[in-house]
Amino acid sequence: MLRDEALRAVQDPTAPPTVLAQVAGEFPDLRPQVAAHRGAYPGLLSWLAAGDDPAVDAALAARRAAPAGYGAPTPPYTPHPYAPGPSSAAHLAPAYAAQQPHTQQPYAPGGHAAHHPQPYPSPDATYAPGAGYAVGPQVAAVQGRPTAQRRARVTLVSVLAGLVLLLLVGVAAFLAVGSGAPSAEPVGQGVAGAPEGSGQDAVAPGTATPEHGLLAGAGDESAPVTVEVYVDYMCPVCGRFEAVNGESLTKLREAGSVRVVFHPIAILDRYSQGTAYSTRAASSAALVADRAPDTFQAFHAGLLAHQPQEGTAGLSDAQIADVARAAGVPADVVAELADGGAAEFAPWVAAATQAATSDPALAGPQGFGTPTIVIDGERWAGDWSDAQALAQAIEGTSV
């Protein structure tokens, strides 16, 4: 029982005897008020009288001297032989055995409907802290109103929760802007985060363009349309782009309608548990384009078909070599990949990434991302998730 509840109980003339008994057991300083309360029954008064408390004795003396009807117990009480020690005062279970039958008249103060109290519970029952008790309207009216301390605590918790929410939103926004995770253009692009490296001493593949594109297997030089695709081999959206458009691009390229130039870059190295998978995969593509250009297109498709998930270590050099072997890459080049020989082209990949991410002509509303598609030198912002949209754009340009 809370102290404010105990204070309300001793001030309420209709407080149940069980509540008064609990007040007396839990709050010794309120025993004089309990002794003076009209609802205190003979067994409780006898227990109080046995406590040798001068204040209680004074209250009992005043009670005995009070005019008839003041609240003197009926029948007159006498000191009760049962006087539990302090260790059991909070329970008071046996002391209530002398409780007399009690009745109460209907109570309807202030125009409220008559309140018919239920029979008092067993004296063994205790009052659960915080729970209401049927003691009359002046107490009931107070129940449910939060205290100032409780209101302050709720306000503090609400403010802290709001601050935490704002912090989480800020962190999420920072990660979305600075990460290579898919965004929403047109159905998702990786936002650029280029690796360091000036590229001044970079060794370029033999089939590379000055703009860091790979011409290996790109198609007929006289094709009417040139499509350039910027790709990070860990970007899941690049994998979806290949799944949707790879076959149609191959058919158009083989038909001589388009020249397809891939730009392998690395913006997602920090999502491969420190293995720099984006750089290793792009460097492997550069090595294959340099050593075995006729197999590059198949190797490119194989890397995207066996694409690891973001947040994993990615494929090992040996696993990249397995992809190359399955794509028909010659055995000596496969062995070079397995031994980590692709690191030769890592500076070139860094330079290609730096050039792409800093070119405003390649940036979308959220900055540069992968995949980025360029048709005849102009960034294409169409919906490549539609399997026909890119092919129609290429064919429309060639007319």
Residue 387's CATH number? 3.40.30.10
In a domain, 89, yes or no: yes
Q: Using one digit for the tens of pLDDT, what is the confidence trace for 356-381?
A: 999 999 999 989 999 999 999 999 99
Q: Are 374 and 262 in contact (CB under 8 A)?
A: no
pLDDT band at 8 (very low <50, low <70, confident <90, very high): confident
Q: What's the pLDDT at 397?
A: 66
When pLDDT is averaged across residues 85-109 and rounded to a whole number, the result is 36
In a domain, 174, yes or no: no
C-alpha–C-alpha distance, residues 82 and 50, integer Å: 8
In a domain, 282, yes or no: yes
Closest CA to 47 of 82, 75, 73, 17: 82
Same-domain check for residues 255 and 343: yes
Q: What's the pLDDT at 190?
A: 40
Domain assignment of residue 314, given as a range: 190-398
Q: Which tokens belong to 390?
A: 């890119």
- Given the structure tokens 């209250």, which residue do they identify? 59
Q: Using one digit for the tens of pLDDT, what is the confidence trace for 338-361?
A: 999 999 999 999 999 999 999 999
pTM for the full predicted model: 0.53
When pLDDT is averaged across residues 250-272 and rounded to a whole number, the result is 95
**336 or 188: whose pLDDT is higher?**
336
Which backbone phi and psi does 175 adopt, to 5 degrees? -65, -35
Q: What's the pLDDT at 191?
A: 38
Q: State how many domains the chain has.
A: 2
324 Cβ contact partners less than 8 Å away, ≥ 6 residues apart: 284, 288, 295, 299, 302, 333, 334, 337
Out of 43-57, 205-219, 241-255, 315-329, least confident range: 43-57
Q: Compute the CA torsion angle 290, 295, 299, 301 (nearest 10 deg).
A: 120
Q: Are 295 and 323 in contact (CB under 8 A)?
A: no
The answer, yes or no, to whether residue 224 has pLDDT greater than 90, is: yes
In a domain, 233, yes or no: yes
Same-domain check for residues 261 and 358: yes
Same-domain check for residues 203 and 119: no
Paired with 230 in beta bridges are 263, 372
Out of 34-43, 57-66, 101-110, 289-298, least confident range: 101-110
Same-domain check for residues 138 and 247: no
Paired with 367 in beta bridges are 364
Report which listed range, 76-80, 88-92, 328-332, is most confident. 328-332
Q: Are 195 and 266 in contact (CB under 8 A)?
A: yes
- Output the average pLDDT for the chain: 77
76 Cβ contact partners less than 8 Å away, ≥ 6 residues apart: none
Angle (nearest 5°) at CA 280 between 357 and 338: 165
pLDDT band at 206 (very low <50, low <70, confident <90, very high): very high
**176 or 383: whose pLDDT is higher?**
383
Same-domain check for residues 201 and 337: yes
Out of 14-23, 31-40, 104-113, least confident range: 104-113
Task: Tell me which of 148, 168, 198 is where a domain ends.
Answer: 148
Same-domain check for residues 267 and 377: yes
Same-domain check for residues 284 and 389: yes
Same-domain check for residues 141 and 194: no
**88 or 240: whose pLDDT is higher?**
240
In a domain, 178, yes or no: no
Same-domain check for residues 274 and 220: yes
Report which listed range, 9-23, 148-162, 271-285, is most confident. 271-285
Same-domain check for residues 245 and 342: yes
pLDDT band at 320 (very low <50, low <70, confident <90, very high): very high
Same-domain check for residues 260 and 323: yes
In a domain, 274, yes or no: yes
Burial 292-311 (b: 16+ CB within 10 A, else e): bbebbbbbbbbbbeebbebe
When pLDDT is averaged across residues 49-69 and rounded to a whole number, the result is 81
Same-domain check for residues 143 and 194: no
**198 or 58: whose pLDDT is higher?**
58
In a domain, 180, yes or no: no
Burial of 275 (0-12, 13-18, 19+ CB in 10 A): middle
In a domain, 162, yes or no: no
